[in-house]
């Protein structure tokens, strides 16, 4: 697996990372713990060095899982986690509002360090921009943690260009994590040029459109009652039916390249910029193998141009999030 530098930072990660959220949270019942630990460790054997979690996933259980899985391999991997929510005191899923106050960040990091069984977090993201706390204060708090040796690099998630610039002026931002894929291309307008200018890496989450771009989901595919995709406008049966046009496009290219739609979707992202490292998630060994195969897949300029011209003709149906969550995207 090739390595990539996230922007101008010294942070080097595998071209493809592993998003661990779905192992504990979000996509139906949590996976079997021992099976998930085995999956994470097999990813390391296959060259993955970049693992993504957050305190809100569970809450807490995903950090526990990642910490236990990677403890024996800690010096081989980069662990990213996130802060920025008030969590329910009874441990129920979800969150009770945003909270990026400096004192809260300094409290949150202690819990994450303990659960991750480590003395330093490689990449510490603000999970969502908190409109109540100036981003300069957030950057300053993480800078303190870097000075104390508890964190190595500062990241933002779903932040807008203005926020990125203000944060970066206080403490250099190593990476921005944002949704980016062939069916969510908004970062191309303003975010990607800003990252390029400032030398910040991009870590696309949901690079396979929350599973949709794999070609394994259509309008009739049942989702578990606890699957958060049930709440997404883009996953209504009507939207799914309309959006299959994107999957058909990926399928056509995949057939020609002797690949799968998922591999084309990931290879397309990797071809956009050399400082992009997507983090597809999975709970299945076969899917992990399939996703990682994308790193060796070369899309020619002609392939990319064909994808571009065909994709630009396909309108995507449905908002990606309900309005109250979409509003949490920073300016």
Task: Give catalytic residue positions.
Answer: 57
Report residue 243: phi and psi, to 5°: -80, -5
Report residue 178: phi and psi, to 5°: -145, 155
Question: Which residues make beta-bridge pairs with 179?
Answer: 205
Element at 154 (helix H, strand E): strand 151-157
- How far is it, in rounded angstroms, from Cα 182 to Cα 172? 28
Helices (H), the chain: 33-45, 61-70, 102-115, 135-147, 161-170, 191-198, 237-257, 261-272, 285-293, 301-311, 323-326
Length of the chain, in residues = 331
Residue corresponding to tokens 């870590």: 203
Non-local (6+) Cβ contacts of 96 within 8 A are: 85, 86, 87, 88
Non-local (6+) Cβ contacts of 113 within 8 A are: 119, 120, 121, 150
Report residue 189: phi and psi, to 5°: -70, -55
Q: Is 46 helix (H, G, I), strand (E, B) or coil?
A: coil
- How far is it, in rounded angstroms, from Cα 207 to Cα 200? 18
DSSP category for residue 29: S
């Amino acid at each position: 697996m090739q390595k990539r530098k996230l922007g101008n930072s010294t942070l080097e990660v595998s071209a493809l990372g592993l998003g661990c959220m779905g192992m504990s949270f979000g996509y139906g019942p949590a996976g079997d713990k021992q099976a998930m630990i085995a999956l994470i460790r097999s990813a390391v054997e296959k060259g993955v060095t970049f693992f993504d979690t957050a305190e809100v996933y569970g809450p807490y259980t995903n950090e526990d899982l990642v910490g236990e899985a990677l403890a024996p391999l800690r010096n081989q991997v980069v662990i990213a986690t996130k802060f920025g929510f008030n969590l329910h005191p009874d441990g129920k899923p979800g969150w009770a509002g945003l909270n990026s106050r400096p004192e809260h960040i300094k409290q949150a990091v202690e819990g994450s360090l303990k659960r991750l069984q480590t003395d330093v977090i490689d990449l510490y993201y603000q999970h969502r921009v908190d409109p109540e706390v100036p981003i300069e204060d957030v950057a300053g708090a993480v800078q303190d943690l870097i000075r104390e040796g508890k964190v190595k690099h500062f990241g933002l998630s779903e932040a807008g260009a203005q926020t990125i610039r203000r944060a970066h002026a206080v403490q250099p931002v190593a990476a921005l994590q944002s949704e980016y894929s062939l069916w969510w291309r908004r970062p191309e307008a303003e975010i990607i040029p800003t990252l390029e200018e400032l030398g910040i890496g991009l870590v696309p989450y949901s690079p396979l459109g929350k599973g949709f771009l794999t070609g394994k989901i259509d309008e009739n595919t049942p989702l578990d009652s606890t699957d958060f995709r049930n709440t997404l406008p883009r996953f209504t049966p009507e939207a799914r039916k309309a959006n299959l046009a994107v999957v058909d496009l990926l399928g056509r290219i995949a057939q020609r390249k002797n690949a799968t739609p998922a591999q084309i979707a990931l290879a397309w992202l990797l071809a956009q910029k050399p400082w992009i490292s997507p983090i597809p998630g999975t709970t299945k060994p076969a899917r992990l193998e399939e996703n990682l195969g994308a790193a060796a897949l070369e899309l020619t300029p002609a392939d990319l141009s064909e994808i571009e011209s065909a994709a630009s003709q396909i309108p995507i149906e449905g908002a990606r999030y309900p309005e109250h969550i979409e509003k949490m995207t920073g300016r």
